[in-house]
């Protein structure tokens, strides 16, 4: 992901999430040196991800597939790329947070061996008000 990708990324982020990352959030991640990728099919962007690696831990900060490409296993391909990059950077563990209501993401993460290790109470805002917990998941790489 580069600054040139941010218009597309931010547009899709807003379409996919009730509480999307801002352009500034993505720009800050790029400036901080976080791993950030845009997946392309036929030269066109279809998905993106942001990951932070600290010491032996990788943390998934954002992964999203454009709505029109969901169900095509692109999330699986992108996640596998992240695992390889995390290992290349010396990570032996991979962490993420996910909404309990996001059944598609939970199924994806479970299918790759992620295990729930805890909850963050009230981590996510809800569109209709209130808060939703996050399930914290971990994978041994």
Beta carbons of 19 and 124 less than 8 angstroms apart: yes
Q: Which residues are catalytic?
A: 97, 109
């Amino acid at each position: 992901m580069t600054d040139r990708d941010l218009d597309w990324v931010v547009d899709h982020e807003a379409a996919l999430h009730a509480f999307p990352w801002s352009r500034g959030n993505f720009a800050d991640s790029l400036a901080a040196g976080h791993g950030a990728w845009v997946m392309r099919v036929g030269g066109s962007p279809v998905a993106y991800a942001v990951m932070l690696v600290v010491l032996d831990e990788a943390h998934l900060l954002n992964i999203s597939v454009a709505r029109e490409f969901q169900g095509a296993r692109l999330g699986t391909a992108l996640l596998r790329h992240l695992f390889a990059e995390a290992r290349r950077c010396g990570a032996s563990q991979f962490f993420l947070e996910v909404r309990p209501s996001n059944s598609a993401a939970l199924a994806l993460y479970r299918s790759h061996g992620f295990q729930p290790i805890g909850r963050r109470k009230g981590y996510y805002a809800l569109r209709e008000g209130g808060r939703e917990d996050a399930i914290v998941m971990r994978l041994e790489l």
